[in-house]
């Protein structure tokens, strides 16, 4: 079920978890929040993505707004099947290596999973990263022993440095996530924070 979702459709599912929306509102929120760093937003592709979610039973239309002279706007609601598919996709992608766009989107939507589950999934990712990093450093050491010129190792050295930064970030995030005083998920946010988020959403569509 989750395999049929794309990174863009998972972002749409995440928006519909918040409340019912029409595609125009979704696109504006994505851009306002800077999530267009993660996926490409084009009108045709976006509307096609929403239509596919509806066709597969992951979203359902709940009304059409025909106010004023603007085009009719269909409002969509997330179905239980869609919510589960989105959560399963995030579970699937968080621990995986080698799929950077999918990981970034899964991470951005991981707040919809329980804290303990996210810790477990990212701990699995850390173990996979450790194994891959060890293999990479073995290759570098073997290359150094053969006196391979640096010009042929520059990309692998860069990847090794990026992995070091990834480890540092991941360890720090796991430490924060393990702290029960750090809010995780919408329900744990202070009421005033949720009210600010609601006010922000309203300002985007007004």
Q: pLDDT tens, 99-119?
A: 999 999 999 999 999 999 999
Determine the CATH number of domain 2-108: 1.10.10.10
Answer for the pair 101, 153: CB distance below 8 angstroms, yes or no.
Answer: no
For the chain, the average pLDDT equals 88
The pLDDT-based confidence of 4 (bands split at 50, 70, 90) is confident
159: nearest Cα among 129, 182, 181, 125 = 129
Q: How far is CA 138 from the centre of its chain?
A: 32
Q: Report whether pLDDT(3) > 80.
A: no
Answer for the pair 108, 35: CB distance below 8 angstroms, yes or no.
Answer: yes
85: nearest Cα among 119, 51, 53, 115 = 53
30-52, pLDDT tens digit by residue? 999 889 999 988 888 999 999 99
Q: Report whether pLDDT(152) > 70.
A: yes
The pLDDT-based confidence of 142 (bands split at 50, 70, 90) is very high
Q: Both tokens of residue 173?
A: 């995030």
**Is 91 exposed, middle or buried (CB count within 10 Å of its CB: 0-12, 13-18, 19+)?**
middle
87: nearest Cα among 2, 7, 192, 175 = 2
- Sequential DSSP letters for 26-67: HHHHHHHHTGGGTS---HHHHHHHHHHHHHTTSEEEEEEE--
63-83, pLDDT tens digit by residue? 887 666 666 788 999 999 999
What's this model's pTM, rounded to 2 decimal places?
Answer: 0.85
pLDDT of residue 127: 96
Domain residue ranges in the chain: 2-108, 114-177
Torsional class of 77: left (φ above 0), alpha (ψ -120 to 50), beta (otherwise): beta
């Amino acid at each position: 079920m989750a395999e049929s979702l794309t990174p863009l459709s998972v972002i749409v599912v995440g928006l519909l978890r918040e409340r019912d929306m029409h595609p125009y509102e979704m696109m504006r929120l994505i851009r306002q929040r800077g999530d267009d760093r993660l996926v490409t937003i084009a009108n045709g592709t976006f509307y096609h993505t929403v239509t596919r979610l509806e066709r597969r039973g992951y979203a359902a239309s709940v009304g059409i707004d025909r106010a004023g002279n603007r085009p009719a706007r269909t409002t969509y609601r997330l179905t239980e099947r869609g919510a589960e598919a989105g959560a399963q996709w995030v579970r699937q992608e968080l621990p995986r290596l080698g799929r950077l766009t999918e990981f970034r989107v899964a991470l951005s939507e991981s707040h919809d999973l329980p804290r303990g589950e996210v810790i477990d999934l990212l701990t699995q990712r850390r173990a996979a990263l450790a194994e891959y990093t060890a293999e990479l450093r073995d290759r570098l050491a073997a290359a150094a022993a053969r006196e391979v010129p640096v010009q042929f190792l520059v990309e692998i050295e860069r990847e090794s440095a990026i992995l070091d930064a990834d480890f540092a970030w991941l360890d720090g995030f796991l430490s924060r996530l393990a702290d029960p005083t750090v809010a995780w998920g919408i329900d744990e946010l202070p009421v005033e924070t949720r009210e600010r988020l609601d006010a922000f959403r309203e300002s985007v569509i007004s």
